[in-house]
C-alpha cells in the first residue's frame, strides 16, 4: 500500500478540490459563510489535516458545509448526523 504523505496545513489546503467539486449554494448574507470561515481557521490553527477530518452532516443548508471542505465527508438523514458521527 502506498504511504500517504501528510499535507502541510494552511488555509488553502481546505479549499483544494472542495470548491471545484461543489458550488456553494447558500444565500448571500447567510451565517453559514462565517461558520465555514471560522472552521477553516480553527482546523488550520489546530494543524488538523484533511486526512484526519470527518465531517458528518444531515439535510439542509448547514448540513452542506461538509461539501465545502477538502476532507472526508458523510451525508446522513435528517436528525441522524450525531448518531452517524458517534459510530464513525
Answer yes or no: pTM beyond 0.75: no
Instruction: Give per-residue pLDDT as tens, 57-74.
Output: 888 888 888 888 878 888
Instruction: Give per-residue pLDDT as tens, 27-57.
Output: 999 999 999 889 888 888 888 888 888 888 8
Mean pLDDT of 13-18: 63
What are the CA-CA distances from residue 77 to residues 9, 19, 50, 81 (Å)? 31, 23, 23, 7
Amino acid at each position: 500500500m502506498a504511504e500517504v504523505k501528510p499535507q502541510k496545513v494552511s488555509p488553502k489546503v481546505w479549499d483544494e478540490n472542495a470548491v471545484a467539486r461543489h458550488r456553494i449554494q447558500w444565500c448571500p448574507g447567510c451565517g453559514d459563510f462565517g461558520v465555514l470561515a471560522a472552521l477553516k481557521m480553527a482546523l488550520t490553527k489546530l494543524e488538523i489535516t484533511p486526512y484526519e477530518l470527518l465531517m458528518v452532516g444531515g439535510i439542509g443548508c448547514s448540513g452542506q458545509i461538509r461539501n465545502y471542505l477538502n476532507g472526508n465527508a458523510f451525508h446522513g438523514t435528517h436528525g441522524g448526523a450525531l448518531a452517524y458521527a458517534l459510530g464513525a
